[in-house]
Amino acid sequence: MTDQAEYIHQGRLNGSQRNKVKGLFDMLYTPKEFGEEIGINPDQVSRVYVPAGCPHTKDKQNHIFINGKEFKTWYEENYQKRILEKDQAYCVSCKQIVKMSNTERNQKGNLTYYSFSCPICGRKVIRFIDAKRKKDDQQKELETH
Ligand SMILES: [Zn+2]
């Protein structure tokens, strides 16, 4: 498992936070403003979303800024709920559901996940198996890369 996938997993938002993401503007937010907008700890920006691959910009002083609209797109691509068959996963590179093959089952801390190589692009795809999921997140989901 890539660490990036673990960061993506940590960055999951709850229902009301996701609704607030939808209301973000096409403008740059400081982590503090961003955290206040969606109701998260501002540190989550640099500790979770940036390492998870979230689009961001830095000024000369290395301050991080997040564009609200870009974040919304990125979040939806990485966390969108998808209904998948047992042997399917979603490849973010190919932007389509692919069949799992030569799948490895992995465990890292509380996280259980499958990993395999995408049959189309060959990149590593990860599908989380998450037993402790909040009610509004119960649909099968997956994240990758
Ligand atoms: Zn692929």
pLDDT score, position 131: 56
Distance 46 CA to ligand 1 centre (A): 28
Question: For residues 102 and 56, what is the distance between their CA atoms, to the nearest angstrom?
Answer: 35
In a domain, 62, yes or no: yes
**If we measure between CA atoms, which residue out of 124, 130, 125, 100 comes closest to residue 112?**
130
Do 115 and 66 sit in the same domain of this protein? Answer: no
Q: Which of 12-16, 24-28, 94-98, 134-138 has the highest mean pLDDT?
A: 24-28
Do 75 and 50 sit in the same domain of this protein? Answer: yes
In a domain, 142, yes or no: no
Has this prediction a pTM greater than 0.75?
no
In a domain, 144, yes or no: no
Distance 98 CA to ligand 1 centre (A): 7
Distance 124 CA to ligand 1 centre (A): 8
Torsions phi, psi for 62 (to 5 deg): 70, 20
Distance 115 CA to ligand 1 centre (A): 12
pLDDT score, position 134: 41
pLDDT score, position 140: 44
How is residue 87 written in tokens? Answer: 């042997």
Mean pLDDT of the chain: 85
Distance 76 CA to ligand 1 centre (A): 18
Distance (Å) of CA 25 to CA 20, 37, 51: 10, 10, 22
In a domain, 143, yes or no: no
Distance 41 CA to ligand 1 centre (A): 33
How is residue 77 written in tokens? Answer: 């691509």
Distance 31 CA to ligand 1 centre (A): 32
For the chain, the domain total comes to: 2
pLDDT in tens, 98-130: 999 999 999 888 888 899 999 999 999 988 876
The model's confidence at residue 4, banded by pLDDT at 50, 70 and 90, is: confident
The model's confidence at residue 7, banded by pLDDT at 50, 70 and 90, is: confident
Identify the domain containing residue 17 by its residue range: 3-79
pLDDT score, position 129: 78
Instruction: Give the CATH number, domain containing residue 67.
Output: 1.10.10
